[in-house]
Amino acid sequence: MTHPVDFPPPDSAGSARRVFLKQLAAASGSLPLGKALAGGTATALLLQSAEAGAAPSGKPVINTVYGYESFGPDEAAFVEAMLNIMCPADHFTPNGVDCGLAIYIDRQLAGSFGQGARRYAAGPFLQGAAQCGPQLPLTPEQYFKAGIAEADRAAQRLYGQLFDALTPQQGDAFLQQLAAGQVAGEQLDLAEWFNALVYPLFAEACFADPLYGGNVGMVFWKMIGYPGLPATHALDVVQYLGKPYPGAAHPKSIADFS
Amino acid sequence: MKTRASKTVVIVGGGLTAGLIARQLTAKGVDVLVLERGGDHSKGPESSLPNQRDELRWSVRQGLIQDWSRETYTLRHQQNQTALPVRWMESFLPGQGLGGAGNHWNGHLWRWAEYDPQLRSHYQQRYGKQAIPADMPLQDWGVTYAQLEPYHDLFEKLFGVSGQAGNIGGKKLPGGNPFEAPRSGAYPQAPLHVLESGQVFKQACDHLGYHPFPQAAANSSGAYTNPDGQQLGQCQYCGHCERFICEANAKGSPQVLLYPMLRARKSFEVRLNTQVLGLRYDAAGKRATAVHCLDLMTGEEYEQPAEVIVLAAFTMSNTQLLLHSKIGKPYDPVSNTGVVGKNFCYQVNAGVDLFFKDKWFNPFLASGSTQIVIDDFNNDNFDHTGLGFLGGATIQAYQFSGRPIKGRRVPDGTPRWGTAWKQANADWYAHSMSLGIEGSCYPHRGNYLSLDPTYRDAYGRPLIRMTFDFRANEQKMAAFVSGKMMEIARHCGADKVGSLQALVTPFDSRLYQTTHIVGGTIMGETPHDSVVSPHLQHWDAHNLFVVGASVYPHNSGYNPTGPLAALALRLGDDLLRYLQRPGRL
Ligand SMILES: Cc1cc2nc3c(=O)[nH]c(=O)nc-3n(C[C@H](O)[C@H](O)[C@H](O)COP(=O)(O)OP(=O)(O)OC[C@H]3O[C@@H](n4cnc5c(N)ncnc54)[C@H](O)[C@@H]3O)c2cc1C
Ligand code: SF4
């Protein structure tokens, strides 16, 4: 059930993997890799969801959307490696890329969130109390990418390799250090970057409605037992008081009702 | 700039209070114009299936909330710091669009304590003149609970509130809140269902001798028709309530119960997508003459004259409009003079998570108000002698949603990703619950609102600057009530009790706490210590009125909407009198 193509064996050369991913990203941007690319993001995702519903039971449903809108090949390599560490293929879910987590984050960064929609952007940009929130003249997309570049430089400093070339164990240790504020950035606070921007996007990618590209096959909803839609529970609240809720095994997404 | 034809009453902001005032006035045929910066939410994806059930769009990305790129606030904790703009606010979420935050609220409805409007006198009588610290400017409101009671009663009937009365005419009723202010009658509807989390909490509280009761709620426990003939459907326990608009028309909210009715009345007009930028003030005549408007669709600016102007634009906008229009004296904490911006208060919160291997809580089977509460340690419901603080908090087992992006609980020490993280989420999602406290926040001389000297909004006006932190009084109170909460937590029979999630200090704009920000245009008995009179009439402009939580001189340990709704309904009636004989009420 796992898809080892995204995970090189620990001892393989990381650089080969990056070349492979670059090729994939380049190819998927120009080649017709199926319906997913044909009809624009939303339609593609809906189609994917319809297909997901039709998948024979027992076989995990995985992401079929290719072609990044925001990430370049190097950024894709970083993000894919990170997401496969944070979400390894296991008895709960396929790996992060197969769960659509990279597509989710890419689409968020390319869309209104990444472009800083509804966020106050006027200067001056001064540093002060953390409780006021980040004070950066960057959109979330620019910030995300600047952080990848810095984290990659830090990985090279610490391990002599780009992040995506690290073994999963090394990569995991590096992310733990990042999150704990033990990796100094040159210009950015990498802990803040990881905890306030990257981690929330990871959680959203796992648990948002699959409409947005992550949580493919509602695999994370099934994992925890969240039933999704339609959520009209006036009777359930009485009938299942203190008892398991059967609908939790068969969640439904917005796409199932659209 | 063009001037449009004058109106009798112009209300700035089209939220909950505006709808209530307009109800009173248009029933008597008075011309009312409501100016609302947002649009109409009633028929869009935000209020219909399936798109209403979109946690990312409406909750995480704040689809119904004020546009921070246009208007935000700056923050500093102390007066000697430079405030910085909050570029994306999480801690409180003002609404935008017809109905205001009154559409995407939870619907917890409280009447506050009988002594809340006389809080200063109350504390002094009970604990002596020295009880209130010099830097805590508590003050009486100049109105009594008894005067507001009929309006509380009316509001609860209009919004079809579901609850269990605890005190009718002084007679204590089993199952209700024994600390409740005396009511003239029962709630219009039976309380909501008690969830498993509520039962667990209730048992522990009964054992400890406390007094648990179900939260009174503007989530309709049945099908309901209000005195105006407006209808509510039955609550679906859909788990998409706070931050969302009800798709089942079951949440007592202005867009269901007020605006459709108002828009069918001849003397009512609403202009949507209309940003109010300021007021025109005739200082010599002590009158506000007109409102300065910007049509956000066409870019047209115009002046809208009126006989009466009401500010009903929520705490921050109400204060900003007065400061920016230079009406009333701005508060200065150093000289302790002036009033506009004074007594800005927030709310105290803390919590703890509980984990039970064998209990099914099904967190997604919930309404915005399904909680069991105790009031035993709130406000002055317990003896404060020797405690070193004033005020208190409710303690509750709340269960409002199981929305999966933000609504998951895992035990302490769970890794933040990887297989063990997934395991913990799978193990505990349906088998955990939370307790919380929601407490008072009393005014402090150093907590206030003013205009920022540096940062401006999209319309070129200075942003409102918050100078705010939780001070020693609130920190001590939070520690005390949190201790009581942890004691209850240990009596719930959980397999694992999480560690205390204590009140976060310094105040942090990055964490949602509540949207219960109060003060800035406070009410009181004299112009010396308040912006508006007990009738909500501006002391420096007799045809200008201010309504909403901005008039509260302190925040109680409750959600704010009960008294501000009662005050709004009463203001509607007061304005009828005013229009007959303009002058001081
Ligand atoms: C998530 C959430 C949960 C809540 N839960 C509860 C609860 O359970 N119990 C409770 O008691 N309270 C709750 N509240 C608070 C409750 O919503 C408010 O007390 C209530 O809505 C206040 O009514 P109002 O008329 O003062 O403001 P609002 O209803 O917010 O209306 C103000 C209106 O003014 C408009 N406006 C602002 N500035 C301008 C301007 N310059 N020009 C034109 N228009 C303007 C806004 O767009 C808005 O529509 C909650 C709030 C939120 C956000
Ligand atoms: S919980 Fe009830 S009142 Fe709240 S939005 Fe859902 S159906 Fe409406």
Nearest CA to B395 out of B112, B202, B109, B555 is that of B202
Q: Rg (Cα) of chain B, in Å, rounded? A: 23
Residue B280, pLDDT score? 98
For residue A237, give the nearest of B53, B193, B360 by CB distance: B193
Give B546-567 pLDDT, tens digit per residue: 999 999 999 999 999 999 999 9
What's residue A34's pLDDT? Answer: 34
Give this prediction's pTM: 0.94
Tell me the chain A residues in contact with residue B416 when contact means C-beta distances shorter than 8 Å: 179, 199
Which pLDDT score is estimated for A46?
Answer: 40
Q: Which residues of B are catalytic?
A: 516
Q: Shortest CA distance to A33 belongs to which of A65, A6, A69, A68?
A: A65
Q: With a cut of 80, say whether residue A20 has pLDDT above it.
A: no
Across B283-308, average pLDDT: 98
**pLDDT tens-digit series, residues A31-46:** 333 333 333 344 344 4
Pick the residue with more confidence: B507 or A14?
A: B507
Q: What is the pLDDT of residue A248?
A: 96
Q: What is the pLDDT of residues A180-216, one digit of tens each?
A: 999 999 999 999 999 999 999 999 999 999 999 999 9
Asked whether residue A4 is domain-assigned, the answer is no
Question: CA–CA separation, B9 vs B261, rounded Å?
Answer: 18
Which residue from A minimizes the CA distance to B361?
A242
**Helix, strand or coil for residue B354?**
strand
Q: What is the pLDDT of residue A60?
A: 86
- Give me the domain span that covers residue A71: 14-117+135-257
Query: Is the CB of residue B430 less than 8 Å from the CB of residue A224?
Result: yes
Tell whether B81 lies on the interface with A, counting CB pairs under 8 A.
Answer: yes
Query: Could you tell me if residue A128 is inside a domain?
Result: no
pLDDT of B367 above 80: yes
In B256-300, beta strands by DSSP E = 268-271, 274-282, 287-295
pLDDT score at A2: 31
Q: How confident is the model at residue A57 (pLDDT cuts 50, 70, 90)?
A: low
What does the mean pLDDT of chain B come to? 98
Spatial separation of the C-alpha atoms in residues B527 and B539, rounded to whole Å? 6
* Structural domain contains residue A57: yes
Q: Which residues of A5-28 are buried (b: 16+ CB within 10 A; e: fewer)?
A: ebbbeeeeebeebbeebeebbeeb
Q: Looking at the domain assignment, is residue A239 inside a domain?
A: yes
Distance, in Å, from the CA atom of B139 to the CA atom of B345, rounded to the nearest integer, reads 13
Other C-beta atoms within 10 Å of B470: how many? Answer: 21
Determine what percent of chain B is predicted with pLDDT higher than 70: 100
Residue A187 lies in a domain: yes
Mean pLDDT of B400-414: 97
CA dist B75 → B84, B180, B324, B350, B448 (Å): 6, 36, 18, 22, 11
Secondary-structure breakdown of chain B: helix, strand, coil percentages, each rounded to the nearest 5: 25, 20, 55
In this structure, the strands spanning B301-311 and B2-3 are parallel
- Distance, in Å, from the CA atom of B441 to the CA atom of B92, rounded to the nearest integer, reads 15
In the predicted model, what is the mean pLDDT of residues B435-444?
A: 98
Query: Total domain count for chain B?
Result: 1
Is the pLDDT at B102 greater than 60, yes or no? yes
Q: How far is B460 from B446, CA to CA, in rounded Å?
A: 27
SS3 B438: strand
CA nearest neighbour of B550 among B321, B297, B246, B216: B321
At residue A11, the pLDDT reads 36
What domain count does chain A have? 1
Phi/psi for B450 (5° steps) reads -150, 180
Give pLDDT tens digits for A65-83.
999 999 999 999 999 999 9
Local confidence band at A14 (pLDDT 50, 70, 90 cut-offs): very low
Which residues constitute the domain of residue B200?
A: 2-66+94-220+229-580
pLDDT at A7 over 60: no
A6 in a structural domain: no
Residue B146 lies in a domain: yes
Report if residue A1 sits inside a domain. no
pLDDT tens, residue by residue, B327-349: 999 999 999 999 999 999 999 99
Quick one: tokens of B501?
């999630």
List, as ranges, residues 453-512 from B with C-beta within 8 Å of A: 454-456, 506-510
- Residue B84 placed within a domain: no
The whole-number pLDDT of residue A26 equals 38
Atom of ligand 2 nearest to the CA of B106: 4
- Average pLDDT of the residues in A7-19: 37
Residue B455 tokens read as 């940062």
* Average pLDDT, integer, range A96-111: 98
Distance (Å) from the alpha carbon of B366 to chain A's nearest alpha carbon: 8
How confident is residue A258, by pLDDT bands cut at 50, 70 and 90? Answer: confident
Q: How far apart are the CA of A134 and the nearest CA of chain B, in angstroms? A: 7
Whether ligand 1 lies within 6 angstroms of the CB of B563 is answered as: no
CATH of the domain at B565: 3.50.50.60
Q: What percent of chain B has pLDDT over 90?
A: 100
Cα torsion for B214, B218, B224, B225, to the nearest 10°?
A: 140
- Give the atom of ligand 1 at the shortest distance from the alpha carbon of B565: 23
Pairwise CA distance, residues B448 & B332, whole Å: 9
